[in-house]
Amino acid sequence: MPPRTTPTQRQKRLGAEIKKLRTAADMTAERAAGLIGVDRGKISNIEAGVRNISPERLRALAAHCACTDERYVDALVELSVIPQRNWWDEYRRKLSPGLLDIAELEWQSHRIQTIQTVHIPGLLQTEDYARSIFDALLPPLPRLELELHVAHRMDRQRVLSREQPVSYTGYVHEAALRMLFGGREVTKKQLGALIEAGERDNVTVRIVPIERGSFPGAGQSLLYAEAPVPQLDTAQLDSAHGPAFMHEAAQLAKYRTHLDWMDEACLSAQASRDVIRSIIREL
């Protein structure tokens, strides 16, 4: 099978972790290739995410690299298994690969935490609210593409209501509650939906009050997806050029600290709902 030309973020991450294993063991690519019975070029392609590695070869390489963290190796093997076709594949070649990577990241996560300072988190948006956000992009999206973006965002919310829903915490700045995306009526319905979402067992919504003043990462959105082991966590940031995925140890430590700060600074879930209700009354 020829190398793939557009590896997914999941495939790139597996390759990066395999390279990390090899370099930590001070092992050359040639040596690694010989130990697991492949040629030098295939190792490079595996580390670039453009070729698969079998679970057996992955475990063999981890053993040769003296990696004794069984949970980490098991999680790597899980990453190496070619996933079955899932709902986001319906959008392939219709939307950017980065949007599909976000959907897959959320679906495979054990826990999701997000920080939003300008608008309501995507996993909690109503259809009309989401449409108003995409309608404000520059250059404007063609109508069909806009509706595809909205449909994809609504489909992403399946992760919160599937048979085994993911645990989700959304930290939202009070300023985002007051942004009238779509106008007053759309915003009122969105805030009502936000209250309902926060009452679900697997969803927590907490508000950073305006009175809190300055805070780390002001103006920056964050999606932090927890994996089976902390080493495989991923932080995703939005940018003008598409989503950026972070997984270096120092980067993950930075964003875990950011989330810890939010946990300390935000209002409780009940107090947050009270703030949302008061804003609805103002509208």
For residues 132 and 14, membership in a common domain is answered with no
For residues 171 and 246, membership in a common domain is answered with yes
- Give the domain range for residue 218: 91-282
For residues 149 and 270, membership in a common domain is answered with yes
What does 169-210 look like in DSSP terms, one character per residue? EEEEEHHHHH--TT-HHHHHHHHHHHHHHHTSTTEEEEEE-G
Domain assignment present for residue 158? The answer is yes
| pLDDT confidence bin for 2, thresholds 50/70/90 | low
Choice between 108 and 84, residue whose per-residue pLDDT is larger: 108
Residue at which a domain ends, from 56, 80, 104: 80
Residue at which a domain ends, from 47, 80, 113: 80
pLDDT at 3 over 80: no
pLDDT at 1 over 60: no
Helix, strand, or coil (residue 246) = strand
> Which pLDDT does position 260 carry in this prediction?
95
> Which pLDDT does position 215 carry in this prediction?
76
**75 — phi, psi (to 5°)?**
-65, -35
Q: Which of 115, 65, 80, 87 is nearest to 7 (CA)?
A: 80
pLDDT, average across residues 109-129: 97
Measured CA to CA, the distance from residue 128 to residue 126 in angstroms comes to 6
CATH assignment at residue 163: 3.30.870
For residues 69 and 100, membership in a common domain is answered with no
Helix, strand, or coil (residue 71) = helix
For residues 194 and 257, membership in a common domain is answered with yes
For residues 142 and 242, membership in a common domain is answered with yes
Residue at which a domain ends, from 46, 80, 114: 80
> Which pLDDT does position 40 carry in this prediction?
86
Domain assignment present for residue 4? The answer is no
Measured CA to CA, the distance from residue 121 to residue 176 in angstroms comes to 9
For residues 168 and 220, membership in a common domain is answered with yes
Task: Burial-class residue 222 by CB neighbours within 10 Å (0-12, 13-18, 19+).
Answer: buried
Domain assignment present for residue 200? The answer is yes
For residues 52 and 126, membership in a common domain is answered with no
Q: Which of 106, 83, 128 is nearest to 234 (CA)?
A: 106
CATH assignment at residue 69: 1.10.260.40
Tell me the per-residue pLDDT of 230-245, one tens digit each, with 9 for 90 and over: 999 999 998 777 899 9
For residues 15 and 146, membership in a common domain is answered with no
Range in 172-176, 201-205, 208-212, 214-218 the model is least confident about: 214-218
Tell me the per-residue pLDDT of 153-195, one tens digit each, with 9 for 90 and over: 999 999 999 999 999 999 999 999 999 999 999 999 999 999 9
Domain assignment present for residue 3? The answer is no
For residues 123 and 145, membership in a common domain is answered with yes
Measured CA to CA, the distance from residue 105 to residue 229 in angstroms comes to 14
Q: Which of 232, 259, 201, 234 is nearest to 72 (CA)?
A: 232
Gyration radius of the chain over CA positions: 21
For residues 76 and 98, membership in a common domain is answered with no
> Which pLDDT does position 4 carry in this prediction?
62
Which helix (DSSP H) or strand (DSSP E) does residue 15 occupy?
Answer: helix 9-24
Choice between 3 and 239, residue whose per-residue pLDDT is larger: 239
For residues 198 and 65, membership in a common domain is answered with no
Measured CA to CA, the distance from residue 171 to residue 23 in angstroms comes to 37
Q: Which of 168, 155, 239 is nearest to 200 (CA)?
A: 168
pLDDT, average across residues 39-55: 92
Q: What is the pTM of this model?
A: 0.93
Q: Which of 256, 224, 245 is nearest to 10 (CA)?
A: 245
Domain assignment present for residue 86? The answer is no
Q: How far apart are the first and last CA of the chain?
A: 58
Domain assignment present for residue 30? The answer is yes
Measured CA to CA, the distance from residue 279 to residue 267 in angstroms comes to 15
The number of distinct structural domains making up the chain is: 2
